[in-house]
Amino acid sequence: MSKSNTSWILLIATLPASSTASRMRLWRAVKSLGCATLRDGVYLLPFQTELDYRLKKLSDEVRQDGGNSWVLRVAADPRPGESGFGAMFDRTGVYDDLCRSLDGAAVEMKGQAPADIARNLRKMRKELESIRAIDYFPSEASALAEAAWLRYVQSAEAAMSIGEPAAVAGEIPLLPRDEYRGRRWATRKRIWVDRVASAWLIQRFIDPEAEFLWLDSPLDCPADALGFDFDGATFTHVGECVTFEVLLASFGLSQDPALARLGALVRNLDAGGGYVPEAVGFEALMHGARKRGLTDDQLLANVGAVLDSLHAHFATNDEKEGQ
């Protein structure tokens, strides 16, 4: 919605001074809608069909409570140099406050129990959603808040994920792919970025007949299974490489430019560092898949299709750049 060509709706409402409860209900209602207050009893919103309906419903309630009320559609005509009504809906301040809260909560997360982290995550999500609902003119501040939210969620997911691997030092030997076909592969359940991408890589490029086991604990890994992405696993973080990149190097796949770019995306989301434009979108997709309540097998199938598309996209771009 553009501030410059927006039409507006006004709610003009008066209630008897003695109607304390009715006045409080009105105040709460206009606040929840994000109305700008022009003066006592005069409230403004950008015109939207849904908002128009809600203001008219609120107007009817005011009349039922013994007051007077009107809803008017108006057009602003700001003088040169004036910002007009749009400036009254600038949410930069509340977004800045939210970013500070998210950064503070991320610091306090260390040492907290998973249940406490999950409770704070729900609280912060509710706060962000309440601001989104009344942000009628999204700006740079809203984009910065979304980025801060994704960083916070990533930290929360990592803190709640038991068995997150620590990087080990050493070389990554080249392995014969033929000897790793038809095997069982095991990793921690509730797969996230590195694990789902690694499982996809195994399935598509290393072991098309792979059977996956999703473990409650790394200690449950069967002796005959190839573990990945947990401490002590056959394939896990080495140096600055995340498990996906370790698998690439182990099976001679690092020379595929499209897979290398996927590796950079996974490292960005799993360990931080670098800039990959597609990373935020991929992480948002992962959160959406998790919210749908998918099993790990279903999540691998769904996100695997997205990784197929990203690989094709990166491969196509690399071919164009090489021409």
pLDDT band, residue 46 (cuts 50/70/90): very high
DSSP 184-222: EEEEESS--HHHHHHHHHIIIII-TT-EEEEESSGGG--
Q: What does the pLDDT read at residue 310?
A: 95
Kind plus residue range of the DSSP H or E element containing 227: strand 226-227
The CA distances from residue 61 to 11, 44, 198, 315, in Å, are 12, 17, 57, 60
Residue ranges of E strands in 95-195: 184-188
Whole-prediction pTM: 0.54
Amino acid identity of 89? F
Per-domain residue ranges of the chain: 7-86, 90-160, 177-322
Contact 283, 193 (CB under 8 A): yes
Mean pLDDT across the chain:
89
Kind plus residue range of the DSSP H or E element containing 226: strand 226-227
| Strand pairing category for 7-14 and 36-39 | unpaired
What does the pLDDT average to over 15-34? Answer: 93
Rounded distance, CA 200 to CA 311, Å? 11
What does the pLDDT average to over 74-95? Answer: 79
Place of tokens 């071919």: 319
Q: Is 80 exceeded by the pLDDT of residue 90?
A: yes
Class of domain 7-86: alpha beta
Write the DSSP symbol of residue 81: T
Q: Is 60 exceeded by the pLDDT of residue 225?
A: yes
Rounded distance, CA 44 to CA 72, Å? 10
